Amino acid sequence: MWNKLYNAAVNVQNSRTISPFIEAGGVAAAILTKQGNIYVGVCIDTASTLGMCAERNAIANMITNGESQIDKVVAVMPDGRVGSPCGACREYMMQLDKDSGDIEILLDLETNKTVKLKELIPDWWGYDKFGE
């Protein structure tokens, strides 16, 4: 499944200039939902910092299509390696669902090394909002 997600992300990754203020596609992401669907997104970088990371773009695509539970995440960096989501993306994912801490994130494609989101955000502040 990791290779399938990686390839889905690479298929939309296309670094390009949109305007003098916006660049897109340097980073791409693919997410696998609990329902088994794959959603992709690319980063959108703007001069005014109103851009969006690839992971959040993929999540927006997922939410637009009526889902909100993620199983796995892959982010592909400009050099083709996978990388860990930034802090904003981690927080965004944690807030989606009470079980988001169990989202599996790929850290290395060759070894299939992964980490759970809750390991990247220990002692997360929001668990009590879910009634835990």
Domains and CATH numbers, the chain: 2-130 (3.40.140.10)
Bridge partners, residue 105, by sequence: 73, 115
Poorest-pLDDT segment among 47-51, 65-69, 118-122: 47-51
pLDDT bucket at 18, cuts 50 / 70 / 90: very high
Q: Is the dihedral of CA 44, 49, 59, 27 positive or negative?
A: positive
Rounded distance between C-alpha atoms, residue 9 and residue 113, angstroms: 18
pLDDT bucket at 115, cuts 50 / 70 / 90: very high
What pLDDT was estimated at residue 132?
A: 57
> What would the pLDDT profile of 94-114 be if each residue is shown by its tens digit?
999 999 999 999 999 999 999
